Structure 1
Amino acid sequence: MTSLEAAALWVGLNALLLIFLSARVGSVRMKHKINLGDGGNDAMTKAIRTQGNYIEYAPAAIGGLVLLALLNAPVVGIHLLGGVFFFARVSHLLGLGMGVWPMGRMIGTVLTMLTLLVTGLWLIWTALV
Protein backbone atom coordinates (compact mmCIF):
# COMPACT_ATOMS: atom_id res chain seq x y z
CA MET A 1 0.00 0.00 0.00
CA THR A 2 1.31 3.43 -0.90
CA SER A 3 0.96 6.47 1.32
CA LEU A 4 -1.61 7.90 -1.10
CA GLU A 5 -3.65 4.68 -0.91
CA ALA A 6 -3.45 4.83 2.88
CA ALA A 7 -4.72 8.41 2.82
CA ALA A 8 -7.51 7.34 0.44
CA LEU A 9 -8.61 4.70 2.96
CA TRP A 10 -8.93 7.26 5.76
CA VAL A 11 -10.56 9.87 3.53
CA GLY A 12 -13.11 7.25 2.45
CA LEU A 13 -13.86 6.20 6.02
CA ASN A 14 -14.27 9.83 7.04
CA ALA A 15 -16.66 10.41 4.12
CA LEU A 16 -18.79 7.53 5.40
CA LEU A 17 -18.69 8.96 8.92
CA LEU A 18 -19.90 12.32 7.59
CA ILE A 19 -22.80 10.59 5.83
CA PHE A 20 -23.71 8.87 9.11
CA LEU A 21 -23.53 12.14 11.07
CA SER A 22 -25.63 13.93 8.46
CA ALA A 23 -28.21 11.14 8.44
CA ARG A 24 -28.49 11.42 12.22
CA VAL A 25 -29.32 15.12 11.89
CA GLY A 26 -32.00 14.32 9.30
CA SER A 27 -33.40 11.51 11.43
CA VAL A 28 -33.71 13.71 14.52
CA ARG A 29 -35.31 16.46 12.39
CA MET A 30 -37.94 14.03 11.12
CA LYS A 31 -38.55 12.45 14.53
CA HIS A 32 -39.13 15.80 16.25
CA LYS A 33 -40.59 17.59 13.20
CA ILE A 34 -37.97 20.35 13.26
CA ASN A 35 -37.58 22.00 9.88
CA LEU A 36 -34.86 24.56 10.61
CA GLY A 37 -32.44 25.17 13.47
CA ASP A 38 -32.64 23.11 16.64
CA GLY A 39 -36.20 23.98 17.67
CA GLY A 40 -35.03 24.21 21.29
CA ASN A 41 -34.68 20.42 21.29
CA ASP A 42 -31.64 18.98 23.10
CA ALA A 43 -31.38 15.92 20.84
CA MET A 44 -31.43 18.16 17.78
CA THR A 45 -28.79 20.46 19.26
CA LYS A 46 -26.50 17.50 19.99
CA ALA A 47 -26.95 16.02 16.51
CA ILE A 48 -26.26 19.38 14.84
CA ARG A 49 -23.21 20.10 17.00
CA THR A 50 -21.77 16.61 16.56
CA GLN A 51 -21.97 16.98 12.78
CA GLY A 52 -20.84 20.62 12.88
CA ASN A 53 -17.89 19.86 15.11
CA TYR A 54 -16.81 17.12 12.72
CA ILE A 55 -17.11 19.47 9.75
CA GLU A 56 -15.03 22.11 11.55
CA TYR A 57 -12.02 19.83 12.04
CA ALA A 58 -12.16 17.18 9.31
CA PRO A 59 -11.02 19.36 6.38
CA ALA A 60 -7.70 20.22 8.06
CA ALA A 61 -7.06 16.63 9.14
CA ILE A 62 -8.04 15.09 5.81
CA GLY A 63 -6.24 17.74 3.78
CA GLY A 64 -3.16 17.22 5.90
CA LEU A 65 -3.24 13.46 5.32
CA VAL A 66 -3.50 13.93 1.57
CA LEU A 67 -0.68 16.50 1.50
CA LEU A 68 1.56 14.26 3.60
CA ALA A 69 0.80 11.36 1.26
CA LEU A 70 1.61 13.49 -1.78
CA LEU A 71 4.89 14.42 -0.09
CA ASN A 72 5.64 10.68 0.27
CA ALA A 73 5.24 10.44 4.04
CA PRO A 74 5.64 6.90 5.36
CA VAL A 75 2.53 4.73 5.09
CA VAL A 76 2.63 3.93 8.80
CA GLY A 77 2.53 7.65 9.62
CA ILE A 78 -0.52 8.16 7.41
CA HIS A 79 -2.25 5.20 9.06
CA LEU A 80 -1.42 6.42 12.56
CA LEU A 81 -2.72 9.93 11.93
CA GLY A 82 -5.74 8.71 9.98
CA GLY A 83 -6.59 6.03 12.51
CA VAL A 84 -6.25 8.27 15.54
CA PHE A 85 -8.30 11.04 13.91
CA PHE A 86 -11.06 8.59 12.92
CA PHE A 87 -11.09 7.07 16.43
CA ALA A 88 -11.22 10.59 17.87
CA ARG A 89 -14.25 11.55 15.81
CA VAL A 90 -16.11 8.31 16.59
CA SER A 91 -15.29 8.85 20.28
CA HIS A 92 -16.69 12.38 20.07
CA LEU A 93 -19.86 11.01 18.45
CA LEU A 94 -20.27 8.39 21.18
CA GLY A 95 -19.70 10.98 23.89
CA LEU A 96 -21.55 14.09 22.72
CA GLY A 97 -23.80 12.86 19.95
CA MET A 98 -25.05 9.62 21.42
CA GLY A 99 -24.25 9.99 25.11
CA VAL A 100 -23.17 6.36 25.44
CA TRP A 101 -19.56 7.03 26.45
CA PRO A 102 -19.22 9.99 28.83
CA MET A 103 -15.44 10.26 28.33
CA GLY A 104 -15.81 10.08 24.55
CA ARG A 105 -16.27 13.78 24.00
CA MET A 106 -13.14 14.71 25.94
CA ILE A 107 -11.04 11.90 24.46
CA GLY A 108 -12.27 12.78 20.98
CA THR A 109 -11.43 16.44 21.44
CA VAL A 110 -7.94 15.78 22.82
CA LEU A 111 -7.07 13.24 20.13
CA THR A 112 -8.43 15.51 17.38
CA MET A 113 -6.21 18.35 18.56
CA LEU A 114 -3.25 16.00 18.89
CA THR A 115 -3.63 14.71 15.32
CA LEU A 116 -3.98 18.25 13.99
CA LEU A 117 -0.90 19.33 15.94
CA VAL A 118 1.22 16.43 14.68
CA THR A 119 -0.07 16.83 11.12
CA GLY A 120 0.57 20.58 11.13
CA LEU A 121 4.06 20.29 12.56
CA TRP A 122 4.92 17.46 10.17
CA LEU A 123 3.76 19.52 7.19
CA ILE A 124 5.74 22.56 8.34
CA TRP A 125 8.83 20.43 8.95
CA THR A 126 8.52 18.82 5.52
CA ALA A 127 8.12 22.21 3.84
CA LEU A 128 11.15 23.74 5.54
CA VAL A 129 13.61 20.86 5.48
Structure 2
Amino acid sequence: MAKLHWTPWMALAEIGNEAGRMMEEAAAGARDCAYAWQPVADVVETEAEFRVTLELAGVAREDVAVEIQGRELLIQGSRRFEKDVRGGLYQMLERSYGPFARSFALPKGVSRTEITAVLKDGLLVVCLPKMRPERLHRRIPIS
Protein backbone atom coordinates (compact mmCIF):
# COMPACT_ATOMS: atom_id res chain seq x y z
CA MET A 1 0.00 0.00 0.00
CA ALA A 2 1.36 3.40 -0.95
CA LYS A 3 2.03 6.03 1.65
CA LEU A 4 -0.37 8.97 1.50
CA HIS A 5 1.04 12.38 2.35
CA TRP A 6 -1.67 14.52 3.92
CA THR A 7 -1.92 18.18 2.91
CA PRO A 8 -4.30 20.92 4.04
CA TRP A 9 -5.73 20.99 0.50
CA MET A 10 -7.03 17.47 1.03
CA ALA A 11 -8.97 18.65 4.09
CA LEU A 12 -10.47 21.55 2.13
CA ALA A 13 -11.56 19.18 -0.63
CA GLU A 14 -13.20 16.91 1.96
CA ILE A 15 -15.02 19.90 3.51
CA GLY A 16 -16.24 20.90 0.03
CA ASN A 17 -17.53 17.39 -0.63
CA GLU A 18 -19.32 17.29 2.74
CA ALA A 19 -20.88 20.74 2.16
CA GLY A 20 -22.13 19.61 -1.26
CA ARG A 21 -23.65 16.46 0.23
CA MET A 22 -25.39 18.49 2.97
CA MET A 23 -26.79 20.96 0.41
CA GLU A 24 -28.20 18.09 -1.66
CA GLU A 25 -29.84 16.57 1.43
CA ALA A 26 -31.31 19.95 2.43
CA ALA A 27 -32.72 20.48 -1.06
CA ALA A 28 -34.25 16.99 -1.07
CA GLY A 29 -35.76 17.59 2.39
CA ALA A 30 -37.24 20.93 1.32
CA ARG A 31 -39.14 19.20 -1.51
CA ASP A 32 -40.53 16.64 0.92
CA CYS A 33 -41.61 19.21 3.52
CA ALA A 34 -45.30 20.15 3.51
CA TYR A 35 -44.76 23.49 5.26
CA ALA A 36 -43.22 26.52 3.57
CA TRP A 37 -42.24 28.47 6.70
CA GLN A 38 -42.40 28.64 10.48
CA PRO A 39 -43.59 31.71 12.40
CA VAL A 40 -41.33 32.95 15.20
CA ALA A 41 -42.51 32.20 18.72
CA ASP A 42 -41.94 33.18 22.34
CA VAL A 43 -42.77 30.84 25.24
CA VAL A 44 -43.13 32.35 28.71
CA GLU A 45 -43.80 30.54 31.99
CA THR A 46 -45.49 32.31 34.88
CA GLU A 47 -46.73 30.93 38.18
CA ALA A 48 -50.19 30.35 36.73
CA GLU A 49 -49.58 29.41 33.08
CA PHE A 50 -47.40 28.83 30.04
CA ARG A 51 -47.97 31.40 27.29
CA VAL A 52 -47.00 30.77 23.65
CA THR A 53 -46.97 33.84 21.37
CA LEU A 54 -46.56 33.55 17.59
CA GLU A 55 -46.17 36.34 15.04
CA LEU A 56 -48.88 35.79 12.43
CA ALA A 57 -49.21 39.18 10.75
CA GLY A 58 -51.48 38.98 7.73
CA VAL A 59 -52.94 35.59 8.66
CA ALA A 60 -56.73 35.42 8.96
CA ARG A 61 -58.30 33.78 12.01
CA GLU A 62 -60.02 31.24 9.75
CA ASP A 63 -56.65 30.15 8.35
CA VAL A 64 -55.19 29.06 11.73
CA ALA A 65 -55.81 25.88 13.73
CA VAL A 66 -54.64 25.25 17.30
CA GLU A 67 -54.85 21.64 18.47
CA ILE A 68 -53.64 19.30 21.17
CA GLN A 69 -52.33 16.02 19.73
CA GLY A 70 -51.07 13.66 22.39
CA ARG A 71 -48.37 15.51 24.35
CA GLU A 72 -47.98 18.30 21.75
CA LEU A 73 -49.51 21.68 21.06
CA LEU A 74 -49.80 21.97 17.25
CA ILE A 75 -50.38 25.31 15.54
CA GLN A 76 -50.81 25.24 11.79
CA GLY A 77 -52.31 27.34 9.05
CA SER A 78 -51.56 29.30 5.94
CA ARG A 79 -50.73 32.87 4.91
CA ARG A 80 -52.20 33.70 1.52
CA PHE A 81 -50.22 35.60 -1.09
CA GLU A 82 -52.27 38.47 -2.46
CA LYS A 83 -50.64 40.21 -5.40
CA ASP A 84 -51.70 43.84 -5.42
CA VAL A 85 -48.96 45.70 -7.29
CA ARG A 86 -51.33 46.99 -10.02
CA GLY A 87 -49.02 46.88 -13.00
CA GLY A 88 -45.79 47.05 -10.99
CA LEU A 89 -43.10 44.47 -10.42
CA TYR A 90 -41.88 43.23 -7.08
CA GLN A 91 -38.30 44.35 -6.52
CA MET A 92 -38.01 42.44 -3.25
CA LEU A 93 -40.24 39.85 -1.58
CA GLU A 94 -39.10 38.90 1.94
CA ARG A 95 -42.30 37.86 3.74
CA SER A 96 -43.13 34.16 3.80
CA TYR A 97 -46.35 32.79 2.34
CA GLY A 98 -48.01 29.42 2.18
CA PRO A 99 -48.61 26.73 4.80
CA PHE A 100 -46.89 26.85 8.19
CA ALA A 101 -46.76 24.73 11.32
CA ARG A 102 -45.19 24.86 14.77
CA SER A 103 -45.37 22.24 17.49
CA PHE A 104 -44.47 22.47 21.16
CA ALA A 105 -44.12 19.67 23.68
CA LEU A 106 -46.68 20.10 26.44
CA PRO A 107 -45.10 20.29 29.88
CA LYS A 108 -46.54 18.20 32.68
CA GLY A 109 -49.22 19.82 34.77
CA VAL A 110 -51.05 21.70 32.00
CA SER A 111 -54.82 21.84 32.31
CA ARG A 112 -55.88 20.71 28.84
CA THR A 113 -59.52 21.73 29.27
CA GLU A 114 -58.74 25.40 30.01
CA ILE A 115 -56.42 26.22 27.07
CA THR A 116 -57.34 29.43 25.25
CA ALA A 117 -56.10 31.08 22.04
CA VAL A 118 -56.52 34.69 20.90
CA LEU A 119 -55.42 36.20 17.56
CA LYS A 120 -55.17 39.98 17.79
CA ASP A 121 -52.98 42.56 16.03
CA GLY A 122 -51.00 39.88 14.20
CA LEU A 123 -50.10 37.95 17.36
CA LEU A 124 -51.52 34.56 18.31
CA VAL A 125 -51.40 34.07 22.08
CA VAL A 126 -52.08 30.57 23.39
CA CYS A 127 -52.47 30.33 27.18
CA LEU A 128 -51.86 26.94 28.79
CA PRO A 129 -52.99 27.20 32.43
CA LYS A 130 -51.22 25.06 34.99
CA MET A 131 -53.25 22.67 37.09
CA ARG A 132 -53.74 23.92 40.58
CA PRO A 133 -52.16 21.70 43.19
CA GLU A 134 -54.60 19.81 45.31
CA ARG A 135 -54.93 21.32 48.74
CA LEU A 136 -53.82 18.79 51.33
CA HIS A 137 -55.56 20.49 54.20
CA ARG A 138 -59.08 21.88 54.11
CA ARG A 139 -61.96 22.20 56.48
CA ILE A 140 -65.07 20.23 55.67
CA PRO A 141 -68.35 21.82 56.67
CA ILE A 142 -70.77 19.73 58.71
CA SER A 143 -74.43 19.90 57.80
TM-score range, shorter chain: under 0.3
Larger Rg: 2
After TM superposition, the score normalised by the length of structure 1 is 0.22
Q: Could you state the TM-score of these two structures normalised by the residue count of structure 2?
A: 0.20
More helix by share: 1
**Structure having greater relative contact order (Cα 8 Å, sep ≥ 6):** 1
